[in-house]
Structure 1
Amino acid sequence: MCWACRAAEERLLHAVLDAGDDACRQAPGDLLGHIESRAERFHRASELVSVFAVLLIGNLAPEAPLHDRFLTRRRAAVDAVAEFIRRQQQAARCRTELDPAVKAVEFVQAGLARRTWPEELHRVDDIPRTASGRIQKFRLRQDLAVRAEHA
């Protein structure tokens, strides 16, 4: 993919996340209100879930354009949940023997619907793309089938 196309794709990816972040900032201030708002938004526009999943999977590699941003978002989510648990513990609304950091990671991970978890991860050296930059999924499937035959 040409440099200008990559730059345009990166701007588009950031714009998608910016739109989601703007919607989050408009949500109610407490964590539960924010979670409810996000769930309602995904219910109203269920295609956002698949767009987000594609963006996330496409940016797992450290050199991917949105990798650092996704990592920062995940850490912020874990920190926010851990702080919420601590406040609940201080107010005697939550068991004090729970480790807020551990529970926060469990909660954030559980927030991903099971159907969005990949069944398998395969490392590839290059992602086949069309001339316009779209991923050629059929070629990825073909490569996986060939690998399975040789395994």
Structure 2
Amino acid sequence: YVMSMARVKEARDAAQSLLKLCKPVETEEDVTTLAYWLQGAFDAFAMGNFPYPSSYINGDPEHPLPAWPMLAACAHMTQVTKMYPSDLMQALSRAAGLMYNASGTLQCFDIDPSGPAAGSTGPWDFQFCSEQMAQEEPY
């Protein structure tokens, strides 16, 4: 659904409120950025899917990810009782929020790949920018 909304202005407009985004999703490029941002959360959950709370992936010892973060994220999706796109998108926002708002203090999400959600400026960021990472190029 996320990629198909690129073609429909009303769906892109709704994405901002449904996903609690700071900025509107205005272009097809914005939809791709959104898809990568959502995928990034689930990539991180998979890499840090430990049976105990951990800040290894999110880098915030004050607000670690829960034990089994992939299971916790997917629980948001399985709680949807009606398969309406709006309900699914809100559940997806809550799931991604486990990664991007572990502190619970953000009012909205900045999906700009060069903004605060981009993460640290450590070696992984350099490697990501200097090499084509096949697992990060699905679309």
Larger Rg: 1
The structure that is helix-richer by fraction is 1
Could you state the TM-score of these two structures normalised by the residue count of structure 2?
0.26
Structure number with higher relative contact order (C-alpha < 8 Å, ≥ 6 residues apart) = 2
Could you state the TM-score of these two structures normalised by the residue count of structure 1?
0.25
